[in-house]
Amino acid sequence: MKLVMQLWYYEDYEDGVKLGLAAKEVLFRDKSDFQTVDVIETESYGRMLLLDGLVMTTDKDEFVYHELISHVPALNHKKPERVVVIGGGDGGTVRELLKHPEIKEIVLCEIDGMVVEVCEKYFPEIAKGIRDPRVKLNIGDGIAYMEEHEANSLDLVIVDSTDPIGPGEGLFSGAFYKSVARALKSDGLMVCQSEGLWHPAPVLQRIHKNVSAGFAHVYPYIASIPTYPKGTWSWTMASKNAIDIKNFDKARLNKIEATGLKYMNEDLMTGVFALPNFFKAKLKS
């Protein structure tokens, strides 16, 4: 009899549910000043980045998250030039934003330098934009950075954070969103990841309430990501003044699609804002 040992990664969700992925090997494991950082080679999703044991990104499905958090706000702004990304140390959001030639400067503010170093080594296709001349890498606290930022000076702020625990917890507070709003111009847009549709209602309501503390207009949107909790995720775009999500820049989208978008297209630019009733109820209840 031949005994074969199989390495598996599991992420436990609530309600007795867990995600399991067969793994080939652990490529990297260490602990920074803020969190544990792991890179695992999986059989089905390629390399996978874990922070504090939770899935952040994988080779196979990362494009969904990064295209959604980047192109939706960029194409809903008339002419984005100055952008700040809070978190996003894997570089995927920066990579997508660099597809917009109108953007002149992207400040990537990531608190954990180890995340940047690990992703540049193990995820070169995701992190390839970090050293672009238009990108300024700032290893530091995103909360303090936004509090001290010049008022009315930014076009986009993208909060590409971890979950509202550990180093990412403060990035979900009402005070933080108020500082983001202060730094944005009158037509500026903010986007944050806002957890999964199946998260408990109190968690989703708290995020929605705190975003609304800084912004008068809030626009949640959703997409499917297989390796995120229960397979469906949400983002929230917010603005000081009302915008028409149907009036995105189609000409710019067509140019960017030519560079090889895997997920976003003209139909989905509005389609992602179609929300199921149970999720709407969670946000309001």
State whether residue 34 is helix, strand or coil. coil
Which tokens is 83 given?
Answer: 């952008």
Indicate which residues carry an active-site annotation.
160
Which tokens is 75 given?
Answer: 């194409």
Spatial strand order in the sheet of 82-87: 135-139, 105-110, 82-87, 154-160, 184-196, 232-239, 217-224
Q: What is the DSSP letter of 153?
A: -
Cβ 64 vs Cβ 138: under 8 Å: no
- Residue 237 CA to residue 218 CA, distance in Å, equals 6
Beta carbons within 8 Å of 92's beta carbon, 6+ residues apart: 57, 62, 63, 65, 66, 126, 127
Partnered with residue 37 across adjacent β-strands are 30, 51
